[in-house]
Structure 1
Amino acid sequence: MAAERGLLPALLLVLLAGGGQQPGAADYCSWRGSGLSWEPRSRAVEQVHLRCTEGSLEWMYPAQALRVVLEPNLSSAQHTTVCIKPARDFQGASIYVEHAGQLHLVASPQRDISRRTASFQYELLSNQSGPDFKKMALVKAMCRPCDNVELLMAICSSDFVVKGSIRNVSHDSENHMSQVDVNVQKVYRQKNRIFQQDEASGEWRGPIRTLLQCKVKKGAGDFLFTGNEHFGEAWLGCAPRFKDFSFIYHAARERRANPCEFQLN
Structure 2
Amino acid sequence: MLTPVLASLLPLLLFCRISICQYSSDQCSWKGSGLTHEGHARDVEQVYLRCSQGSLEWLYPTGAIIVNLRPNMVSPAAARLSVCIKPSADSRGTNIYLDRNGKLRLLLREQDQAQGKVQCFSIQEGALFIEAVPHMDISRRITAFQYELVSDRLGPEAHSVGAPCQPCSDAEMLLAVCTNDFVARGSIKKVEQEEEHTTVTVELSRLYRQKVQVFVSGGVRVRSWTGRIKMPLQCGVRAGEGEFLFTGTVRFGEAWMSCAPRYKDFLRLYDEAQQHGTNPCHVDTD
Please state which band the TM-score falls in when normalised by the shorter chain: 0.7 to 0.9
Q: Secondary structure at the residue paired with 1:165?
A: strand
Residues 66-77 of structure 1 mapped to structure 2, 5 A cutoff = 66-77=65-76
What does 1:152-171 align with in structure 2 at a 5 Å threshold?
Answer: 152-171=174-193
1:232-262, Cα deviation, whole Å (9 max, x unpaired): 2211011111122112211221222222211
Whole-Å Cα distance in 2 between the matches of residues 260 and 193 of structure 1? 23
Alpha carbons of 1:258 and 1:71: their partners in 2 closer, same or farther (altered >3 Å)?
closer
TM-score by length of 1: 0.77
The letter for the 1-side match of 2:170 is: N
Find the aligned partners of 2:206 and 2:92 in 1 and give their Cα distance.
41
Over 3 Å counting, the alpha-carbon distance change for 1:41 and 1:145 in structure 2 is: closer
Partner Cα separation in structure 2 for residue 238 and residue 228 of structure 1: 10
Call closer, same or farther: CA 1:99–1:201 in 2, change over 3 Å: farther
Q: Secondary structure at the match of 2:167?
A: coil
Rate the CA distance shift 1:225–1:64 in 2: closer, same or farther, 3 A. Answer: same
Q: Cα distance, 1:133 vs. partner?
A: 4.9
- Alignment partner for residue 238 of structure 1, among 259, 268, 278? 259
1:143 aligns with 2:165: yes
Which structure has greater helix proportion?
2
Unaligned runs of 5+ in 1: 13-24, 126-131
Contact kept, 8 Å, 2:85 with 2:145, in 1: the verdict is yes
One-letter code aligned to 2:256: W
Query: Is 1:62 aligned to 2:83, yes or no?
Result: no
1:19 aligns with none
Residues 201-216 of structure 1 aligned to structure 2 (within 5 Å): 203-216=224-237
Rounded Cα–Cα distance in structure 2 between residues aligned with 1:42 and 1:211: 42
Q: Which runs of 4+ in 1 moved over 6 A?
A: 111-114, 139-142
CA deviation after TM superposition for structure 1 residue 141, in Å: 9.8
Q: Which residue of 1 aligns with 2:212?
A: 192
- CA deviation after TM superposition for structure 1 residue 72, in Å: 3.2
Q: TM-score, length-normalised on structure 2?
A: 0.72
Give the fraction of aligned pairs with identical amino acids, expressed as a percent. Answer: 44
CA offset at residue 101 of structure 1? 1.7
Name the residue aligned to 2:86.
85
- Which residue of the partner structure matches residue 273 of structure 2? 252
Cα-to-partner distance string for 1:165-206 (whole Å, 9 max, x where unaligned): 112111112xx2111111121110111111122569965211
Deviation string, structure 1 residues 15-53 (Cα, Å, up to 9, x no partner): xxxxxxxxxx99611112332344255321233221212
In structure 1, give the amino acid aligned to 2:193: H
| Other-structure match for 2:98 | 97
Counterpart of 1:4 in structure 2 is: 5
Deviations 1:111-162 (A, max 9, x none): 898852211122224xxxxxx45666xx799724333222222212211100
Alignment partner, residue 129 of structure 1? none
Change (3 A) 1:4 1:180: same
- How many residue pairs get aligned? The number is 239
RMSD (Å) for aligned C-alpha atoms: 3.2
